[in-house]
Chains A and B, each alone.
Chain A
Amino acid sequence: MGKMFSIVVVLIALLSAVPILRHTWTPPVDISTHGHAIDEQMSETMAEAGLSFLAAQIILALFVWKFSGRREDEKVSHFPGGAKVMVIAAVLLVGSEVLALGIVGQRAWASVYFTPPAPNALQIQTQAGQFAFYFRYPGPDGKFGPLHPDKIDEGMQNFFGLDPDSDPDSKDDIVTAELAIPVNREVHLLMHAKDLGHSFYVRELRIQQDFVPGLDLSVHFTATQTGRFEIVCTQLCGLGHYNMRAFLSVLSQDDFDKWLKQKASEQ
């Protein structure tokens, strides 16, 4: 039984490692300026976690193989160094490793959260509500008109509850169902929750941030590649949560300008 256990453990450990080593399922290509730090952090952690995982499973298998099925009259012995070695190993190896991960990792975190958006970042507002994302561009005046929750009329495409008749700032606001942004230009995304908690997640951008009702949250990022990417909700928000998505279109500056003009004409 002991031999079987050991073989099973080693097989499982090795088979588990295969998809990792072969990069079968990996995060999609990173299209952000801050993402490489996250990806590096992930690789580093994978190496350390992977080694710890393999080492522990193999040692477990080895010891069970060697020390099970022994005769009753054999004597027990103890690992040289005893618990002291384990404590020192844990503190030194693991302690230093996690400290390093933590200290280096905070730089990746800081680049997303502790640096303010550039003053000329393109400001776009996004609203999350059961079960869709909508986006608002401030228009030529560069200002967002106020939101009136009681004026929301989704059937007439007034998702944000704008009142252009009373609020001049709303007159040129452009509301879209798609988030288009110019490539290589920093975007400052203001996040508004219409009804309850949601989250904004674009895997390729390495961005994930919850919408919290009542809080003015935002994220900022720069996309470095054009293309069409999914924005999905990752905070359980009700029956349509699995179907709550929008698309991010990263366009050249020219294409973006054309797109924005087209959307302005559709308001």
Chain B
Amino acid sequence: MKTQYKLAALASVVLLVAFGVLYSGKSVNASPSGQITGTVKLDGQAPKQKVIDMSKEPSCAQIHAGSPVTTEAVIAGANGGLKNVVVYISEGLSPADAAQVPAQSNQINQKGCQYLPHVVAVDTNQKVEVVNSDSTSHNIHPMPKPGGPNHEWNKSQPPGAPPFQEAFGTEEVAIPVKCNVHPWMRGYIAVVKGPYGVSDGDGNFTISNVSPGNYTLTAWQETYGTQTQKVTVAAGKPTAVNFVFKAK
């Protein structure tokens, strides 16, 4: 081969490797990711949840006529699985991973005069989409720490108004959400950095897209507070972590 072509080929390879090295750290997609799965359980008897009387809003009361609604401060399944626990990485995230903001929004749906889901987790600056599925007007009011960096707002949504999106700029676990019109409505928005998961009715959670590494994992439940565990994540096989909250 002519010398110029050899030189060109060598330069291209060098450049390719250089770019690969430079950009490999920036893209999570490029590198292999791990997963954390597990179960959150309640040790003990869940406190009795109170019945919610929605009679002031007949259109919502009707929806729940057959199955009364209760407060959702502690929802424990048949096997003690705790619902609505936010599990997230509180320490050990690389700056790149911490700065990741998923493009998709997570939805809070005002339905039957409840917030569905009761607990929503988002990253800082990730959009929360608020939807009103009821035939009554709602006024969603997240209440971040007073004096804190997250901005308190409320927004009315008459039935027929389009969904809207909002985001929070600073981590806060978790921001209580109330409805200014319907005092019994309560939800939470947990604003975290990096990947997260929320436990389902059986207490099971999955956190995907976790870069391999050593982390501190935090589980937050609205009544019982937080618990932490150290965890190591490798690519390929999911890491199993379980949490147990003790009933008071």
Q: Which residue of A lies closest to B68 (CB)?
A: A266
* A129-B56 Cα distance, complex, nearest whole Å: 13
By size class, the interface of chain A is 20 to 34
Q: Is A58 an interface residue (CB 8 A)?
A: no
The CB with the most chain B CB atoms within 10 A, among A130, A238, A243, is that of A243
Q: Is B183 an interface residue (CB 8 A)?
A: yes
Which of B33-56 touch A at CB < 8 Å? 50-56
Interface stretch, picked from A111-119, A149-157, A162-170, A211-219, is: A149-157
Q: Is B139 an interface residue (CB 8 A)?
A: yes
CB-based contact B183/A159 at 8 Å: yes
A233–chain B nearest beta-carbon distance, Å:
10
CB-based contact A246/B180 at 8 Å: no
Main secondary structure of the interface of B (DSSP, over half): loop
Contact A154:B184 (CB < 8 A) given known A132-B56, A177-B53, A245-B56: yes
Q: Is A142 an interface residue (CB 8 A)?
A: no
CB-based contact B180/A131 at 8 Å: yes
* A267-B51 Cα distance, complex, nearest whole Å: 8
B137–chain A nearest beta-carbon distance, Å:
7
The answer, among B54, B139, B176, for a CB contact under 8 Å with A240, is B139
* A178-B56 Cα distance, complex, nearest whole Å: 8
When distances are taken between beta carbons in the complex, the residues of chain B under 8 Å from A176 are 53
CB-based contact B55/A157 at 8 Å: no
CB-based contact B184/A157 at 8 Å: yes
Q: Is A247 an interface residue (CB 8 A)?
A: yes
CB-based contact A239/B156 at 8 Å: yes
Interface residues of B (CB under 8 A from A): 50-57, 71, 73, 136-137, 139, 156, 176, 178, 180-184, 186
CB-based contact B178/A155 at 8 Å: yes
* A180-B186 Cα distance, complex, nearest whole Å: 26
B178–chain A nearest beta-carbon distance, Å:
7
CB-based contact B136/A243 at 8 Å: yes
When distances are taken between beta carbons in the complex, the residues of chain A under 8 Å from B178 are 154-155
Closest 7 CB pairs of A and B: A155-B186, A177-B53, A240-B181, A157-B50, A154-B183, A266-B51, A132-B183
B67–chain A nearest beta-carbon distance, Å:
15
Q: Which residue of A lies closest to B47 (CB)?
A: A156
When distances are taken between beta carbons in the complex, the residues of chain B under 8 Å from A177 are 53-56
CB-based contact B52/A157 at 8 Å: yes
When distances are taken between beta carbons in the complex, the residues of chain B under 8 Å from A267 are 50
A157–chain B nearest beta-carbon distance, Å:
4
Q: Which residue of B lies closest to A228 (CB)?
A: B55
CB-based contact B176/A239 at 8 Å: no
Contact A246:B55 (CB < 8 A) given known A155-B178, A156-B71, A240-B181: yes
